[in-house]
Structure 1
Amino acid sequence: MQYELRTQVIDPPRKTFDHLVKRYGDRPASRYEEGTIDIQAKENFHYRPLWDPEHEIYDEAFSAFRLTDPYSFTDPRQYYYAPYVTSRAAMADAVAATLDYLDSRDLLSRLPDAWSSVMGELLVPLRHYESGAQMVSCDIARFGFGTTITQCAAYAAFDRIGNAQALSRVGIALGGGTAELLGDAKTRWVEDASLQGLRRLVEELFLEKDWGKALVRLDVADRLVYSLFFAHLDDAAIDGGAGSYSLVAQHLSSWFADHRKWVDALYKAWVADPETGAANKGLLASSTAEALDAALEALRPVAARVDELVGAGAGASLESTATTIRETVAALTD
């Protein structure tokens, strides 16, 4: 007896979920839309949190930044679980390959002494900055409203731990394969005068109850930190014969460019909102100005220490980045 295999196409009885049909029309939805849109819990809460009875357990009022429709913002990267994990696995493999290469060629031990000091004194301690940013991102994911926002924040929290781990591995390689330099980095984070402003800034972020303001404050600090360490010093390292630094910096720089896509998109959604846009503009401008003053105060000692070590014009670069931030936000909020 012979059997013939045939392909059968079974048409689904409907193209997607009813709530997506109401929003987008009767069309097939993407995986991102089905896993993200209109799934924020809004009703049938059993009780208000005992630690904050003025709010529902999920509440738009946890931030002064509001969107009339939280789903007017969507992640431009369209990340849901599968593409996020695929993207980050590729990033992790690239970082691991670079660090394996540095280890196999013992390149970090060949760094000029000044650049080795930059990495040991200032770069590796940033693992604690990243760990703090992870905690802030978790807070945003918990108190944000709208799954498109909280999903991005949750992924950012995972990313921050990955960044901290990458910097930890740099410290291990720089320490000759031991964890001794990691303990030294923690001591520097807690005690070095040049890092205390940045540590204070991170710890004060833990106390910010408005998740939107916390996001702005962290973003401003990030833009200064990443521009200084992974853009400006990347170029300076190449000119200064410290190519190993540049090999490490490229990965953090690439991650930050990807991360900023959703932050910029959220800012644009805030200011473009037909009902809350005007209030959001004023709040974004004032929050950024306040955050920039605090971040500059925290990072100027860091830049000064960089200049003491390698004379890379870090202080001037920091002020230039601050000017760019002011101009960008002014263009967005005018």
Structure 2
Amino acid sequence: MQYELRYKVIEPKRQTYQNIIDRFGDQPATRYQEATLDIEPRENFHYRPTWIQDRELYDEKYSALRLTDPYSYTDPRQFYYTPYVTNRAALHDEFGKTLAYVEERDLLAKMPEPWRAVMASVIVPLRHYESGAQLVSVTGARFAYGTSLSQCASFAAFDRIGNAQMISRAGIAFGSGTADVLTTAKEEWMNGEHLQPLRRLVEEIMVIDDWAEGLLAIDAIDRRLYPVMYHGLDEAALMGGAGAYSLFAQYLTTWFTDQRKWLDALIKAWVGDPEHGEANTAVLDRIESEWGARADEAVGALTAVVRGHLGEAAEA
């Protein structure tokens, strides 16, 4: 007796979840859309926050910057948990390999003395800046309205801890495998005159009530700090016999480029919002005016120290 195998295609009753169908119709959706859109609860809360009882647990009024539809903004990187973790695991794996190469040859400890001074007095203490920025991002993760916003802030918070760890690991390699350099870096952060404007600024940003303003205030610092301290010193390091610094700094430059993608897209969404765009623009202008000038001062104090150590090389 012979049997014939036949294939039968069973068409699904629907292509995706109902919340996605409500937005786009019954058609295949991306994993990012299914993991993001309309995920945050909007009703049936059991209680209001005890510390601010005119708000819901998830409430758009936690920020002056609003979107008519919070899900009109989507992460241009299309990050939800799985691709985010995969991407960052690869980044830190590559950093680990680079650092192992640097450590085996003791390259950070062998840098010229001016670069060693920059590393000890400016770069390694910035691990504490990253920790402060992480807390600001956590606030955004908690209070941002809409999953497409809150998950970006969550990933940024994880990134900041990763940045602090990278700087710490580079600091330990700089100290030839000892953690003493981290203790010295903390003392610099707490008492170094050139770091106090930045420390004061970060601590004030940490207690801002508006989560979006906090993120943008930190971004005002980032936009001045990263191009100068990491990308800006890259060529000077290569030409000045401090190639190990360039190898380390490239990872932070890569992260900053990635960070800009979702923040720039969010700012564009705020400005272009059909209902709140004009009010958002006014708020954005105020934030840049208020925090940008102080960021200039804080980063300028660090830049002056770097120039003092490196001289004309820092101007390149």
TM band (smaller chain): over 0.9
> Residues 6 and 301 (structure 1 numbering): CA distance in 2 closer, same or farther, change over 3 Å?
farther
Task: Indicate yes or no: 2:22 matched with 1:22.
Answer: yes
Unaligned runs of 5+ in 2: none
1:174 matched to which residue of 2?
A: 174
Number of aligned pairs? 316
Superposed, 1:88-107 pairs within 5 Å as: 88-107=88-107
Q: Which residue of 2 aligns with 1:272?
A: 272
Counterparts in 2 of 1:158-173, with a 5 A limit?
A: 158-173=158-173
Is the Cα–Cα contact under 8 Å of residues 230 and 249 in structure 1 kept in the other structure?
yes
Determine the structure 1 residue equivalent to 2:249.
249
Structure 1: distance between partners of 2:181 and 2:151? 34
* Counterpart amino acid of residue 28 in structure 1: P
Q: Is the Cα–Cα contact under 8 Å of residues 15 and 26 in structure 1 kept in the other structure?
A: yes
Check whether the contact 2:117–2:309 (CA below 8 A) recurs between aligned residues.
yes
Between stretches 108-117 and 262-271, larger displacement belongs to 108-117
Who is 1:138 aligned against?
138
8 Å contact kept, 1:175–1:181: yes
The residue that corresponds to 1:127 in the other structure is: 127
User: 1:216-236: per-residue Cα shift (whole Å, max 9, x none)?
Assistant: 101111111101111111122
What's the offset of the Cα at 1:109?
1.9
**2:38 matched to which residue of 1?**
38
Counterpart residue number, 1:224 = 224
1:215 maps to which residue? 215
Give the secondary structure class of the aligned counterpart of 1:108: coil
Q: Read off the aligned partner of 1:207 and give its amino acid letter.
A: V
Amino acid at match of 1:249: A
Q: TM-score, normalised by structure 1?
A: 0.91
Contact 1:16-1:26 within 8 A present in 2 as well = yes
State the TM-score, normalizing by the size of structure 2.
0.96
Q: Which moved more, 1:229-238 or 1:160-169?
A: 229-238
Name the SS of the counterpart of 2:235 in structure 1. Answer: helix
Q: Which moved more, 1:168-177 or 1:11-20?
A: 11-20
**Which residues of 2 match residues 105-116 of structure 1 at below 5 A?**
105-116=105-116
Question: In structure 2, what is the equivalent of residue 260 of structure 1?
Answer: 260
The 5 Å alignment of 1:285-304 reads 285-304=285-304
Over the matched positions of the two proteins, sequence identity in percent amounts to: 54
Partners in 1 of 2:104 and 2:188 — Cα distance?
28
Question: Which residue of structure 1 lines up, in the alignment, with residue 52 of structure 2?
Answer: 52
Letter in 2 for 1:134: Q
Task: Give the drift of 1:288.
Answer: 0.9
- Comparing 269-278 with 14-23, greater Cα deviation is found at 14-23
Structure 1: gaps spanning 5 or more residues: 318-334
Aligned CA-pair RMSD? 1.8
Q: Following the alignment from structure 1 to structure 2, what is the Cα–Cα distance between the partners of residues 198 and 224?
A: 12
User: Which amino acid in 1 is paired with 2:266?
Assistant: L
Change (3 A) 1:7 1:275: same
1:61 aligns with 61
Over 3 Å counting, the alpha-carbon distance change for 1:288 and 1:80 in structure 2 is same
SS at match of 2:41: coil
